[in-house]
Structure 1
Protein backbone atom coordinates (compact mmCIF):
# COMPACT_ATOMS: atom_id res chain seq x y z
CA UNK A 1 0.00 0.00 0.00
CA UNK A 2 1.28 3.46 -0.89
CA UNK A 3 2.37 5.76 1.91
CA UNK A 4 2.01 9.50 2.43
CA UNK A 5 5.70 9.90 1.57
CA UNK A 6 5.17 8.06 -1.72
CA UNK A 7 2.26 10.31 -2.65
CA UNK A 8 4.29 13.36 -1.66
CA UNK A 9 7.14 12.24 -3.90
CA UNK A 10 4.71 11.82 -6.80
CA UNK A 11 3.23 15.24 -6.21
CA UNK A 12 6.64 16.88 -6.00
CA UNK A 13 7.85 15.37 -9.27
CA UNK A 14 4.63 16.29 -11.07
CA UNK A 15 4.66 19.82 -9.62
CA UNK A 16 8.25 20.34 -10.75
CA UNK A 17 7.23 19.20 -14.24
CA UNK A 18 4.40 21.74 -14.30
CA UNK A 19 1.61 19.17 -14.13
CA UNK A 20 -0.76 21.02 -11.83
CA UNK A 21 -3.79 18.89 -12.70
CA UNK A 22 -1.73 15.73 -12.20
CA UNK A 23 -0.62 17.01 -8.79
CA UNK A 24 -4.24 17.49 -7.80
CA UNK A 25 -5.14 14.00 -8.97
CA UNK A 26 -2.26 12.45 -7.04
CA UNK A 27 -3.00 14.39 -3.86
CA UNK A 28 -6.71 13.62 -4.01
CA UNK A 29 -5.97 9.96 -4.64
CA UNK A 30 -3.75 9.94 -1.57
CA UNK A 31 -6.47 11.53 0.55
CA UNK A 32 -9.03 9.04 -0.74
CA UNK A 33 -6.71 6.09 -0.10
CA UNK A 34 -5.07 7.10 3.17
CA UNK A 35 -7.51 9.58 4.64
CA UNK A 36 -7.09 13.30 5.35
CA UNK A 37 -3.48 14.37 5.85
CA UNK A 38 -2.04 17.91 6.06
CA UNK A 39 0.82 17.18 3.65
CA UNK A 40 -1.55 15.89 1.00
CA UNK A 41 -3.91 18.82 1.47
CA UNK A 42 -0.90 21.08 1.02
CA UNK A 43 -0.12 19.52 -2.36
CA UNK A 44 -3.77 19.60 -3.36
CA UNK A 45 -3.90 23.30 -2.52
CA UNK A 46 -0.65 24.06 -4.36
CA UNK A 47 -1.94 22.23 -7.42
CA UNK A 48 -4.92 24.58 -7.47
CA UNK A 49 -3.03 27.74 -6.51
CA UNK A 50 -0.49 27.27 -9.30
CA UNK A 51 -3.26 27.72 -11.89
CA UNK A 52 -3.62 31.40 -10.85
CA UNK A 53 -7.34 31.35 -11.59
CA UNK A 54 -10.19 32.61 -9.41
CA UNK A 55 -12.03 29.29 -9.29
CA UNK A 56 -8.84 27.39 -8.55
CA UNK A 57 -7.88 29.95 -5.92
CA UNK A 58 -11.17 29.24 -4.15
CA UNK A 59 -10.48 25.50 -4.25
CA UNK A 60 -6.93 26.11 -3.04
CA UNK A 61 -8.20 28.10 -0.08
CA UNK A 62 -10.57 25.26 0.82
CA UNK A 63 -7.69 22.78 0.74
CA UNK A 64 -5.39 25.04 2.77
CA UNK A 65 -8.07 25.44 5.43
CA UNK A 66 -8.80 21.72 5.51
CA UNK A 67 -5.11 21.00 6.01
CA UNK A 68 -4.67 23.65 8.70
CA UNK A 69 -7.68 22.21 10.53
CA UNK A 70 -5.60 19.04 10.89
CA UNK A 71 -2.31 20.79 11.70
CA UNK A 72 -2.54 24.50 12.47
CA UNK A 73 1.26 24.87 12.57
CA UNK A 74 2.09 23.13 9.29
CA UNK A 75 4.76 25.35 7.73
CA UNK A 76 4.01 24.36 4.15
CA UNK A 77 0.31 25.08 4.53
CA UNK A 78 0.94 28.40 6.27
CA UNK A 79 3.44 29.49 3.62
CA UNK A 80 1.30 28.39 0.69
CA UNK A 81 -1.83 29.99 2.11
CA UNK A 82 0.09 33.20 2.85
CA UNK A 83 1.29 33.36 -0.75
CA UNK A 84 -2.25 32.83 -2.00
CA UNK A 85 -3.52 35.64 0.22
CA UNK A 86 -0.66 37.98 -0.70
CA UNK A 87 -1.55 37.82 -4.37
CA UNK A 88 -5.29 38.21 -3.72
CA UNK A 89 -6.99 41.34 -5.00
CA UNK A 90 -7.94 43.51 -2.03
CA UNK A 91 -11.10 44.72 -3.78
CA UNK A 92 -12.42 41.37 -5.00
CA UNK A 93 -11.25 39.30 -2.01
CA UNK A 94 -10.71 41.67 0.94
CA UNK A 95 -10.99 38.91 3.54
CA UNK A 96 -8.42 36.72 1.82
CA UNK A 97 -6.02 39.63 1.35
CA UNK A 98 -6.35 40.62 5.01
CA UNK A 99 -5.52 37.08 6.17
CA UNK A 100 -2.06 37.38 4.65
CA UNK A 101 -0.77 39.44 7.58
CA UNK A 102 -2.03 36.91 10.12
CA UNK A 103 -0.46 33.99 8.27
CA UNK A 104 2.87 35.75 7.76
CA UNK A 105 3.01 36.70 11.44
CA UNK A 106 2.26 33.13 12.52
CA UNK A 107 4.93 31.74 10.22
CA UNK A 108 7.47 34.21 11.62
CA UNK A 109 6.57 33.11 15.14
CA UNK A 110 7.02 29.42 14.36
CA UNK A 111 10.07 29.40 12.08
CA UNK A 112 11.45 32.83 11.17
CA UNK A 113 14.59 31.39 9.53
CA UNK A 114 12.89 28.57 7.66
CA UNK A 115 12.80 28.10 3.91
CA UNK A 116 9.05 28.66 4.04
CA UNK A 117 9.52 32.04 5.76
CA UNK A 118 12.03 33.08 3.11
CA UNK A 119 9.63 31.92 0.41
CA UNK A 120 6.85 34.08 1.85
CA UNK A 121 9.22 37.05 2.21
CA UNK A 122 9.99 36.76 -1.50
CA UNK A 123 6.26 36.58 -2.21
CA UNK A 124 5.74 39.76 -0.16
CA UNK A 125 8.36 41.58 -2.20
CA UNK A 126 6.70 40.36 -5.38
CA UNK A 127 3.26 41.47 -4.16
CA UNK A 128 4.66 44.96 -3.51
CA UNK A 129 6.37 45.24 -6.89
CA UNK A 130 5.87 48.25 -9.13
CA UNK A 131 5.07 48.64 -12.81
CA UNK A 132 8.76 48.71 -13.69
CA UNK A 133 9.31 45.27 -12.17
CA UNK A 134 6.34 43.94 -14.14
CA UNK A 135 7.77 45.39 -17.34
CA UNK A 136 11.23 44.01 -16.62
CA UNK A 137 9.93 40.52 -15.84
CA UNK A 138 7.84 40.59 -19.01
CA UNK A 139 10.91 41.54 -21.03
CA UNK A 140 12.94 38.75 -19.43
CA UNK A 141 10.19 36.24 -20.26
CA UNK A 142 10.25 37.35 -23.92
CA UNK A 143 14.04 36.98 -24.08
CA UNK A 144 13.94 33.52 -22.49
CA UNK A 145 11.19 32.38 -24.87
CA UNK A 146 13.23 33.67 -27.81
CA UNK A 147 16.30 31.74 -26.71
CA UNK A 148 14.19 28.62 -26.28
CA UNK A 149 12.88 29.02 -29.83
CA UNK A 150 16.37 29.41 -31.30
CA UNK A 151 17.72 26.42 -29.38
CA UNK A 152 14.69 24.36 -30.35
CA UNK A 153 15.05 25.28 -34.03
CA UNK A 154 18.77 24.48 -34.10
CA UNK A 155 18.22 21.14 -32.40
CA UNK A 156 15.52 20.38 -34.95
CA UNK A 157 17.88 21.27 -37.80
CA UNK A 158 20.55 18.95 -36.37
CA UNK A 159 18.02 16.13 -35.95
CA UNK A 160 16.84 16.51 -39.54
CA UNK A 161 20.39 16.51 -40.92
CA UNK A 162 21.40 13.49 -38.84
CA UNK A 163 18.13 11.65 -39.37
CA UNK A 164 17.55 11.33 -35.62
CA UNK A 165 14.54 9.15 -34.91
CA UNK A 166 11.84 10.10 -32.45
CA UNK A 167 12.26 8.43 -29.03
CA UNK A 168 10.08 5.63 -27.75
CA UNK A 169 6.64 6.67 -26.60
CA UNK A 170 7.25 5.57 -23.01
CA UNK A 171 10.14 7.97 -22.38
CA UNK A 172 9.84 10.49 -19.54
CA UNK A 173 12.84 12.57 -20.58
CA UNK A 174 11.56 16.09 -21.14
CA UNK A 175 14.21 17.12 -23.68
CA UNK A 176 13.65 13.97 -25.72
CA UNK A 177 9.90 14.57 -25.77
CA UNK A 178 10.37 18.20 -26.88
CA UNK A 179 12.69 17.07 -29.67
CA UNK A 180 10.24 14.41 -30.82
CA UNK A 181 7.28 16.81 -30.77
CA UNK A 182 9.25 19.45 -32.67
CA UNK A 183 10.37 16.93 -35.27
CA UNK A 184 6.80 15.71 -35.67
CA UNK A 185 5.25 19.18 -35.99
CA UNK A 186 7.85 21.16 -37.93
CA UNK A 187 9.56 18.74 -40.30
CA UNK A 188 8.81 18.71 -44.02
CA UNK A 189 9.68 21.16 -46.81
CA UNK A 190 6.63 23.35 -46.18
CA UNK A 191 8.00 24.20 -42.73
CA UNK A 192 11.46 25.14 -44.02
CA UNK A 193 10.79 28.92 -43.70
CA UNK A 194 9.61 28.41 -40.12
CA UNK A 195 12.75 26.45 -39.25
CA UNK A 196 15.01 29.01 -40.95
CA UNK A 197 13.50 31.99 -39.13
CA UNK A 198 13.58 30.04 -35.87
CA UNK A 199 17.30 29.28 -36.22
CA UNK A 200 18.15 32.91 -36.96
CA UNK A 201 15.46 34.48 -34.82
CA UNK A 202 17.62 37.20 -33.26
CA UNK A 203 18.99 38.38 -36.60
CA UNK A 204 15.51 38.17 -38.12
CA UNK A 205 14.02 40.40 -35.41
CA UNK A 206 16.83 42.94 -35.84
CA UNK A 207 16.21 43.01 -39.59
CA UNK A 208 12.48 43.28 -38.91
CA UNK A 209 13.01 46.33 -36.70
CA UNK A 210 15.10 48.03 -39.37
CA UNK A 211 12.53 47.26 -42.07
CA UNK A 212 9.73 48.60 -39.86
CA UNK A 213 11.55 51.91 -39.39
CA UNK A 214 12.43 52.17 -43.08
CA UNK A 215 8.87 51.39 -44.14
CA UNK A 216 7.40 54.03 -41.86
CA UNK A 217 10.01 56.57 -42.96
CA UNK A 218 9.26 55.97 -46.64
CA UNK A 219 5.51 56.16 -46.05
CA UNK A 220 5.87 59.51 -44.28
CA UNK A 221 8.27 60.97 -46.84
CA UNK A 222 6.04 59.98 -49.75
CA UNK A 223 2.98 61.45 -48.07
CA UNK A 224 1.12 58.16 -47.79
CA UNK A 225 0.76 58.73 -44.05
CA UNK A 226 1.10 61.90 -42.01
CA UNK A 227 2.70 60.37 -38.93
CA UNK A 228 3.69 57.03 -37.45
CA UNK A 229 1.67 54.10 -38.80
CA UNK A 230 1.34 50.41 -38.10
CA UNK A 231 2.04 49.36 -41.68
CA UNK A 232 5.70 48.82 -40.92
CA UNK A 233 4.70 46.38 -38.23
CA UNK A 234 3.52 43.93 -40.88
CA UNK A 235 7.14 42.80 -41.19
CA UNK A 236 6.82 41.33 -37.71
CA UNK A 237 3.83 39.12 -38.53
CA UNK A 238 5.84 36.18 -39.97
CA UNK A 239 8.20 36.24 -36.99
CA UNK A 240 5.30 36.38 -34.57
CA UNK A 241 3.79 33.33 -36.30
CA UNK A 242 7.11 31.47 -36.04
CA UNK A 243 7.36 32.23 -32.33
CA UNK A 244 3.81 31.01 -31.82
CA UNK A 245 4.47 27.78 -33.73
CA UNK A 246 7.51 26.87 -31.66
CA UNK A 247 5.81 27.89 -28.41
CA UNK A 248 2.79 25.73 -29.27
CA UNK A 249 5.06 22.74 -29.86
CA UNK A 250 6.77 23.30 -26.50
CA UNK A 251 3.40 23.50 -24.77
CA UNK A 252 2.26 20.26 -26.39
CA UNK A 253 5.54 18.59 -25.46
CA UNK A 254 5.17 19.71 -21.84
CA UNK A 255 1.72 18.12 -21.74
CA UNK A 256 3.14 14.88 -23.16
CA UNK A 257 5.96 14.94 -20.64
CA UNK A 258 3.58 15.35 -17.71
CA UNK A 259 1.32 12.59 -19.03
CA UNK A 260 4.27 10.22 -19.47
CA UNK A 261 5.64 11.08 -16.02
CA UNK A 262 2.25 10.58 -14.38
CA UNK A 263 1.84 7.22 -16.11
CA UNK A 264 5.29 6.09 -15.00
CA UNK A 265 4.68 7.15 -11.40
CA UNK A 266 1.35 5.36 -11.22
CA UNK A 267 2.63 2.24 -12.93
CA UNK A 268 0.55 2.89 -16.05
CA UNK A 269 -2.76 2.81 -14.20
Structure 2
Protein backbone atom coordinates (compact mmCIF):
# COMPACT_ATOMS: atom_id res chain seq x y z
CA UNK A 1 0.00 0.00 0.00
CA UNK A 2 1.24 3.48 -0.84
CA UNK A 3 2.35 5.34 2.27
CA UNK A 4 1.76 8.92 3.35
CA UNK A 5 5.43 9.68 2.68
CA UNK A 6 5.02 8.59 -0.93
CA UNK A 7 2.10 10.93 -1.49
CA UNK A 8 3.93 13.78 0.22
CA UNK A 9 6.99 13.23 -1.97
CA UNK A 10 4.81 13.28 -5.08
CA UNK A 11 3.15 16.51 -3.97
CA UNK A 12 6.47 18.14 -3.15
CA UNK A 13 8.07 17.26 -6.48
CA UNK A 14 5.05 18.45 -8.42
CA UNK A 15 4.84 21.66 -6.39
CA UNK A 16 8.51 22.46 -7.02
CA UNK A 17 7.90 21.85 -10.72
CA UNK A 18 5.08 24.40 -10.71
CA UNK A 19 2.32 21.85 -11.30
CA UNK A 20 -0.33 23.24 -8.98
CA UNK A 21 -3.18 21.26 -10.51
CA UNK A 22 -1.08 18.10 -10.36
CA UNK A 23 -0.36 18.76 -6.67
CA UNK A 24 -4.07 18.98 -5.99
CA UNK A 25 -4.74 15.74 -7.84
CA UNK A 26 -1.99 13.89 -5.97
CA UNK A 27 -3.10 15.24 -2.58
CA UNK A 28 -6.74 14.38 -3.25
CA UNK A 29 -5.75 10.91 -4.40
CA UNK A 30 -3.87 10.45 -1.13
CA UNK A 31 -6.84 11.66 0.90
CA UNK A 32 -9.13 9.28 -0.94
CA UNK A 33 -6.75 6.38 -0.35
CA UNK A 34 -5.60 7.07 3.21
CA UNK A 35 -8.40 9.13 4.66
CA UNK A 36 -8.05 12.56 6.31
CA UNK A 37 -4.39 13.52 6.78
CA UNK A 38 -3.19 16.99 7.90
CA UNK A 39 -0.12 16.84 5.67
CA UNK A 40 -2.17 16.05 2.57
CA UNK A 41 -4.70 18.75 3.38
CA UNK A 42 -1.74 21.11 3.58
CA UNK A 43 -0.57 20.15 0.10
CA UNK A 44 -4.11 20.36 -1.25
CA UNK A 45 -4.45 23.86 0.20
CA UNK A 46 -1.07 24.98 -1.13
CA UNK A 47 -1.98 23.70 -4.58
CA UNK A 48 -5.05 25.93 -4.53
CA UNK A 49 -3.40 28.93 -2.86
CA UNK A 50 -0.60 29.01 -5.44
CA UNK A 51 -3.15 29.86 -8.15
CA UNK A 52 -3.87 33.21 -6.42
CA UNK A 53 -7.47 33.35 -7.65
CA UNK A 54 -10.61 33.96 -5.60
CA UNK A 55 -12.21 30.58 -6.27
CA UNK A 56 -9.00 28.74 -5.48
CA UNK A 57 -8.45 30.86 -2.37
CA UNK A 58 -11.85 29.73 -1.07
CA UNK A 59 -10.98 26.09 -1.69
CA UNK A 60 -7.56 26.59 -0.11
CA UNK A 61 -9.19 27.99 3.02
CA UNK A 62 -11.49 24.96 3.21
CA UNK A 63 -8.50 22.63 3.00
CA UNK A 64 -6.50 24.60 5.57
CA UNK A 65 -9.40 24.54 8.01
CA UNK A 66 -9.99 20.82 7.45
CA UNK A 67 -6.33 20.09 8.16
CA UNK A 68 -6.22 22.28 11.26
CA UNK A 69 -9.33 20.53 12.57
CA UNK A 70 -7.20 17.37 12.63
CA UNK A 71 -4.02 19.00 13.95
CA UNK A 72 -4.35 22.55 15.25
CA UNK A 73 -0.57 22.83 15.75
CA UNK A 74 0.52 21.75 12.26
CA UNK A 75 3.22 24.27 11.32
CA UNK A 76 2.74 24.00 7.57
CA UNK A 77 -1.00 24.52 7.82
CA UNK A 78 -0.62 27.48 10.18
CA UNK A 79 1.99 29.15 7.98
CA UNK A 80 0.15 28.52 4.72
CA UNK A 81 -3.21 29.66 6.10
CA UNK A 82 -1.63 32.78 7.60
CA UNK A 83 -0.04 33.64 4.23
CA UNK A 84 -3.40 33.18 2.52
CA UNK A 85 -5.05 35.47 5.06
CA UNK A 86 -2.32 38.10 4.76
CA UNK A 87 -2.93 38.58 1.07
CA UNK A 88 -6.73 38.61 1.44
CA UNK A 89 -8.55 41.84 0.65
CA UNK A 90 -9.82 43.26 3.95
CA UNK A 91 -12.87 44.70 2.19
CA UNK A 92 -13.94 41.55 0.32
CA UNK A 93 -12.86 39.03 2.97
CA UNK A 94 -12.68 40.84 6.33
CA UNK A 95 -12.88 37.64 8.38
CA UNK A 96 -10.07 35.99 6.47
CA UNK A 97 -7.84 39.04 6.74
CA UNK A 98 -8.44 39.27 10.50
CA UNK A 99 -7.45 35.64 11.06
CA UNK A 100 -3.88 36.31 9.90
CA UNK A 101 -2.93 37.84 13.26
CA UNK A 102 -4.10 34.88 15.36
CA UNK A 103 -2.53 32.33 13.01
CA UNK A 104 0.77 34.17 12.97
CA UNK A 105 0.82 34.47 16.76
CA UNK A 106 0.09 30.76 17.17
CA UNK A 107 2.88 29.75 14.79
CA UNK A 108 5.42 31.99 16.51
CA UNK A 109 4.43 30.58 19.90
CA UNK A 110 4.93 27.02 18.71
CA UNK A 111 8.09 27.35 16.62
CA UNK A 112 9.54 30.87 16.42
CA UNK A 113 12.79 29.65 14.84
CA UNK A 114 11.24 27.29 12.31
CA UNK A 115 11.43 27.55 8.53
CA UNK A 116 7.66 28.08 8.49
CA UNK A 117 8.01 31.07 10.83
CA UNK A 118 10.72 32.54 8.61
CA UNK A 119 8.54 32.08 5.54
CA UNK A 120 5.62 33.74 7.27
CA UNK A 121 7.81 36.66 8.39
CA UNK A 122 8.80 37.21 4.76
CA UNK A 123 5.12 37.16 3.76
CA UNK A 124 4.34 39.71 6.48
CA UNK A 125 7.05 42.01 5.13
CA UNK A 126 5.56 41.73 1.65
CA UNK A 127 2.10 42.51 3.02
CA UNK A 128 3.42 45.73 4.60
CA UNK A 129 4.86 47.02 1.34
CA UNK A 130 3.48 50.29 0.06
CA UNK A 131 2.09 51.06 -3.37
CA UNK A 132 5.32 52.55 -4.69
CA UNK A 133 7.35 49.59 -3.53
CA UNK A 134 4.92 47.28 -5.33
CA UNK A 135 5.46 49.30 -8.50
CA UNK A 136 9.21 49.10 -8.05
CA UNK A 137 9.05 45.32 -7.59
CA UNK A 138 6.87 45.02 -10.69
CA UNK A 139 9.47 46.97 -12.66
CA UNK A 140 12.23 44.69 -11.37
CA UNK A 141 10.25 41.61 -12.34
CA UNK A 142 9.69 43.06 -15.80
CA UNK A 143 13.42 43.62 -16.19
CA UNK A 144 14.13 40.05 -15.10
CA UNK A 145 11.54 38.72 -17.57
CA UNK A 146 13.13 40.66 -20.43
CA UNK A 147 16.50 39.21 -19.44
CA UNK A 148 15.00 35.73 -19.68
CA UNK A 149 13.93 36.39 -23.26
CA UNK A 150 17.41 37.48 -24.29
CA UNK A 151 19.07 34.62 -22.42
CA UNK A 152 16.79 32.00 -23.99
CA UNK A 153 17.23 33.49 -27.45
CA UNK A 154 21.01 33.27 -27.18
CA UNK A 155 20.80 29.72 -25.82
CA UNK A 156 18.53 28.86 -28.73
CA UNK A 157 21.05 30.20 -31.23
CA UNK A 158 23.81 28.13 -29.61
CA UNK A 159 21.63 25.01 -29.71
CA UNK A 160 20.72 25.56 -33.36
CA UNK A 161 24.36 26.17 -34.24
CA UNK A 162 25.15 22.80 -32.67
CA UNK A 163 22.47 21.20 -34.80
CA UNK A 164 19.72 21.00 -32.19
CA UNK A 165 19.75 17.20 -32.17
CA UNK A 166 21.65 16.98 -28.88
CA UNK A 167 19.06 19.14 -27.15
CA UNK A 168 16.15 17.17 -28.58
CA UNK A 169 17.76 13.94 -27.35
CA UNK A 170 18.45 15.32 -23.86
CA UNK A 171 16.97 13.78 -20.74
CA UNK A 172 13.23 14.61 -20.87
CA UNK A 173 13.04 14.50 -17.07
CA UNK A 174 15.39 17.49 -16.81
CA UNK A 175 13.26 20.63 -16.63
CA UNK A 176 15.86 22.96 -18.17
CA UNK A 177 16.52 20.48 -20.97
CA UNK A 178 12.78 20.16 -21.62
CA UNK A 179 12.44 23.93 -21.99
CA UNK A 180 15.42 24.11 -24.34
CA UNK A 181 14.14 21.24 -26.46
CA UNK A 182 10.70 22.82 -26.76
CA UNK A 183 12.26 26.16 -27.69
CA UNK A 184 14.31 24.55 -30.45
CA UNK A 185 11.24 22.72 -31.72
CA UNK A 186 9.02 25.81 -31.70
CA UNK A 187 11.41 28.51 -32.92
CA UNK A 188 13.70 26.74 -35.39
CA UNK A 189 13.62 27.47 -39.11
CA UNK A 190 13.92 30.58 -41.26
CA UNK A 191 10.35 31.69 -40.56
CA UNK A 192 11.29 32.36 -36.93
CA UNK A 193 14.61 34.05 -37.72
CA UNK A 194 13.22 37.57 -36.96
CA UNK A 195 11.91 36.33 -33.61
CA UNK A 196 15.29 34.88 -32.72
CA UNK A 197 17.09 38.05 -33.84
CA UNK A 198 14.86 40.36 -31.80
CA UNK A 199 15.13 38.09 -28.78
CA UNK A 200 18.91 37.86 -29.03
CA UNK A 201 19.30 41.65 -29.22
CA UNK A 202 16.30 42.54 -27.09
CA UNK A 203 17.96 45.23 -24.97
CA UNK A 204 19.28 47.14 -27.98
CA UNK A 205 16.06 46.71 -29.94
CA UNK A 206 13.99 47.89 -26.96
CA UNK A 207 16.13 51.03 -26.55
CA UNK A 208 15.94 51.75 -30.28
CA UNK A 209 12.17 51.20 -30.29
CA UNK A 210 11.73 53.65 -27.41
CA UNK A 211 13.75 56.27 -29.28
CA UNK A 212 11.74 55.73 -32.46
CA UNK A 213 8.51 55.97 -30.48
CA UNK A 214 9.49 59.32 -28.97
CA UNK A 215 10.69 60.71 -32.31
CA UNK A 216 7.56 59.52 -34.10
CA UNK A 217 5.25 61.08 -31.52
CA UNK A 218 7.18 64.35 -31.69
CA UNK A 219 6.99 64.44 -35.50
CA UNK A 220 3.27 63.72 -35.44
CA UNK A 221 2.69 66.67 -33.13
CA UNK A 222 4.99 69.01 -35.06
CA UNK A 223 3.35 68.23 -38.39
CA UNK A 224 -0.10 68.71 -36.94
CA UNK A 225 -1.14 65.12 -37.57
CA UNK A 226 -2.15 64.95 -33.92
CA UNK A 227 -2.95 67.92 -31.72
CA UNK A 228 -2.12 66.52 -28.30
CA UNK A 229 -0.58 63.42 -26.77
CA UNK A 230 0.10 60.74 -29.36
CA UNK A 231 0.35 57.03 -28.71
CA UNK A 232 0.96 55.99 -32.31
CA UNK A 233 4.72 56.05 -31.90
CA UNK A 234 4.56 53.34 -29.28
CA UNK A 235 3.62 50.87 -32.00
CA UNK A 236 7.40 50.58 -32.46
CA UNK A 237 7.43 48.66 -29.16
CA UNK A 238 4.93 46.07 -30.37
CA UNK A 239 7.44 43.69 -32.04
CA UNK A 240 9.52 43.44 -28.85
CA UNK A 241 6.43 42.78 -26.74
CA UNK A 242 5.27 40.10 -29.18
CA UNK A 243 8.69 38.42 -29.02
CA UNK A 244 8.51 38.42 -25.22
CA UNK A 245 5.08 36.80 -25.38
CA UNK A 246 6.30 34.21 -27.90
CA UNK A 247 9.24 33.11 -25.77
CA UNK A 248 7.09 33.14 -22.62
CA UNK A 249 4.45 30.99 -24.32
CA UNK A 250 7.09 28.48 -25.41
CA UNK A 251 8.48 28.30 -21.88
CA UNK A 252 5.01 27.87 -20.40
CA UNK A 253 4.13 25.08 -22.81
CA UNK A 254 7.44 23.31 -22.15
CA UNK A 255 6.97 23.52 -18.39
CA UNK A 256 3.43 22.16 -18.73
CA UNK A 257 4.77 19.21 -20.73
CA UNK A 258 7.42 18.60 -18.10
CA UNK A 259 4.86 18.61 -15.28
CA UNK A 260 2.60 16.23 -17.21
CA UNK A 261 5.50 13.85 -17.79
CA UNK A 262 6.58 14.06 -14.15
CA UNK A 263 3.04 13.43 -12.91
CA UNK A 264 2.75 10.39 -15.18
CA UNK A 265 6.06 8.96 -13.99
CA UNK A 266 5.22 9.50 -10.32
CA UNK A 267 1.80 7.93 -10.81
CA UNK A 268 3.42 4.97 -12.57
CA UNK A 269 5.76 4.53 -9.61
CA UNK A 270 2.73 4.60 -7.32
CA UNK A 271 1.03 1.91 -9.40
CA UNK A 272 4.10 -0.31 -9.12
CA UNK A 273 4.08 0.10 -5.34
CA UNK A 274 0.39 -0.69 -4.99
CA UNK A 275 -0.31 -4.42 -5.18
CA UNK A 276 -3.23 -5.60 -7.27
CA UNK A 277 -5.99 -7.01 -5.09
CA UNK A 278 -7.40 -10.33 -6.18
TM range, normalised to the smaller chain? Answer: over 0.9
Counterparts of residues 145-160 of structure 1 (less than 5 Å): 145-160=145-160
Cα deviation, residue 167, structure 1: 2.9
Q: In the alignment, what sits opposite 2:172?
A: 171
Q: In the alignment, what sits opposite 1:251?
A: 252
Cα deviation, residue 187, structure 1: 1.3
| Matched residue SS, 1:267 | helix
Counterparts of residues 1-269 of structure 1 (less than 5 Å): 1-165=1-165, 166-168=167-169, 171-267=172-268
RMSD: 1.5
Question: Alpha carbons of 1:168 and 1:33: their partners in 2 closer, same or farther (altered >3 Å)?
Answer: farther
Deviates more, 1:223-232 or 1:136-145: 223-232
Q: 2:7–2:27: 8 Å Cα contact kept in structure 1?
A: yes
Q: 1:75–1:107: 8 Å Cα contact kept in structure 2?
A: yes
Please give the alpha-carbon distance, in whole angstroms, between the structure 2 residues aligned to 1:234 and 1:116.
47
Query: Number of aligned pairs?
Result: 269
Deviates more, 1:128-137 or 1:38-47: 128-137
Unaligned runs of 5+ in 2: 272-278
Cα deviation, residue 19, structure 1: 0.5
Deviates more, 1:197-206 or 1:175-184: 175-184
Cα deviation, residue 171, structure 1: 1.4
Cα deviation, residue 266, structure 1: 1.8
Please give the alpha-carbon distance, in whole angstroms, between the structure 1 residues aligned to 2:36 and 2:245.
43
Please give the alpha-carbon distance, in whole angstroms, between the structure 2 residues aligned to 1:100 and 1:142.
30
Please give the alpha-carbon distance, in whole angstroms, between the structure 1 residues aligned to 2:3 and 2:156.
42
Please give the alpha-carbon distance, in whole angstroms, between the structure 2 residues aligned to 1:233 and 1:140.
21
Please give the alpha-carbon distance, in whole angstroms, between the structure 2 residues aligned to 1:66 and 1:195.
50
Cα deviation, residue 116, structure 1: 1.1
Cα deviation, residue 181, structure 1: 1.1
TM-score, normalised via structure 1 length: 0.96
Question: C-alpha deviations, 1:193-244, integer Å up to 9, x for none?
Answer: 1110000000000111111111122222222223331111010111111111
Cα deviation, residue 261, structure 1: 1.3
Question: C-alpha deviations, 1:99-120, integer Å up to 9, x for none?
Answer: 1111111111111221111211
Please give the alpha-carbon distance, in whole angstroms, between the structure 2 residues aligned to 1:229 and 1:38.
58
Please give the alpha-carbon distance, in whole angstroms, between the structure 2 residues aligned to 1:217 and 1:31.
64
Please give the alpha-carbon distance, in whole angstroms, between the structure 1 residues aligned to 2:170 and 2:57.
34
Q: 2:150–2:201: 8 Å Cα contact kept in structure 1?
A: yes
| Matched residue SS, 1:266 | helix
Cα deviation, residue 8, structure 1: 1.1
Please give the alpha-carbon distance, in whole angstroms, between the structure 1 residues aligned to 2:265 and 2:143.
33
